[in-house]
Amino acid sequence: MEAKRELLDLLLSDARESTEDIARQLGTDAATVEALVDELESEGAIRGYQAVVDWDEVDESHVRAEVELNVELDRETKYRDIATRIAKFPEVSSLRLVSGSFDFAVDVEGESMHDVSRFVSEQIAPIPEVTQTVTHFVMTTYKERGVYFGDGDDDDRLAISP
């Protein structure tokens, strides 16, 4: 189990590393790494591999919003039922059941604020169990999935002048 966790940590850090590099870091051979990856994929622990994109550096319009949803359940409806319905929309990039003052945290993406607003008001809000939505548009992303979007200047030393 520990080897799987170490492998997952390495993949989370950089999933583009070669099998040979990962094997070297784990102190094993490439065939073992490939077998562990296959096993993790078949178990459903690894669901995919994605790039972390800094949309401010891309010449295309892209808007992201974090939407809070409150829902009211009845005897026949469970959180999973609502989640299954919401997750089917391609505009929804992530969906989580959370604790606190709202029930679901939904990340919604679109080409414009208008597109995202329209999606929330026309597709999410009308769902019978949804009682309230609060939309927070992301203005600037500083860190995403562990990757810091700094200015690229890695020299953190203080300047000393005479």
Q: What residue segments make up the domains of the chain, in order of their start?
A: 1-43, 55-144
Claim: this prediction has a pTM higher than 0.85: no
Q: Do 69 and 103 meet the contact criterion of CB atoms below 8 Å apart? A: yes
C-alpha count within 13 angstroms, C-beta hemisphere, residue 32: 12
CATH of region 1-43: 1.10.10.10
Strands of the 104-110 sheet, one edge to the other: 92-97, 104-110, 63-71, 130-137
Q: Which fold has domain 55-144?
A: Alpha-Beta Plaits (3.30.70)
List the one residue out of 12, 5, 6 whose CA is nearest residue 144.
12
pLDDT in tens, the chain (162 residues): 688 999 999 998 888 999 999 999 999 999 999 999 999 999 999 999 888 888 888 888 899 999 999 999 999 999 999 999 999 999 999 999 999 999 999 999 999 999 999 999 999 999 999 999 999 999 999 998 888 888 766 556 666 766
Question: In whole angstroms, what is the distance from residue 121 CA to residue 133 CA?
Answer: 9
